Structure 1
Amino acid sequence: MTSSYTHDVLVIGSGAAGLTLALRLAEKARIAVICKGELNQGSTYYAQGGIAAVLDEQDTVDDHVTDTLAAGAQLCHDDTVRFTVANSRESIEWLVSQGVEFSRYPD
């Protein structure tokens, strides 16, 4: 039997970018997310490590940019890294409001 579905937006890929887009659009449109395997089998699901985010008064954007550029073997684009870090707090807060539970280590 053939099924028919109607959606406003088709998101291809279940990584961080695809799922974020789907969540952002879900209040305004009918969304379908498709991927080549299980939703939790992409690279994002298995990614380990921290997020370059300034979350307390002892952190600075410049420190995170410096660390990220060093970790990226100077292959990262400074302006892109700086934009990402400068906007990271808002992104983390949005993810928490969506129910994402982050590990929190004081050190």
Structure 2
Amino acid sequence: MKKRKKRRSKTEGGDKLPFDDEMGKNQKAIKVLQRLFYAGYGTEKEIVNMAMDEMLALPGVNVADLCIISELQKSIKTNKVISYLSGKTEAREETKGADDGGTT
């Protein structure tokens, strides 16, 4: 009789990972991404260049999936895929130039 390995809890042996609490938040996005991989769309370029007809041809696709694919395409274009999948947005401080308030 084989012994079954005891499963470790997420907190056993270390700190909780940052995405553990929010995994359900983007679990659907990760599943849609896996479906894209299985359908043969394995690169950023292929996903960004998907037409609506190609999206609709995916097996079992629904409106929520189309929204996720659209958001994923936007994230790829702006190089923010990890931020999108983690559910976090990066706050950027943009400076429009070195304006000291004086004129020369």
Shorter-chain TM range is under 0.3
Q: Which has the higher strand share?
A: 1
- Greater RCO (CA < 8 Å, at least 6 residues apart): 2
TM-score when scaled to structure 2? 0.27
Higher gyration radius (CA): 2
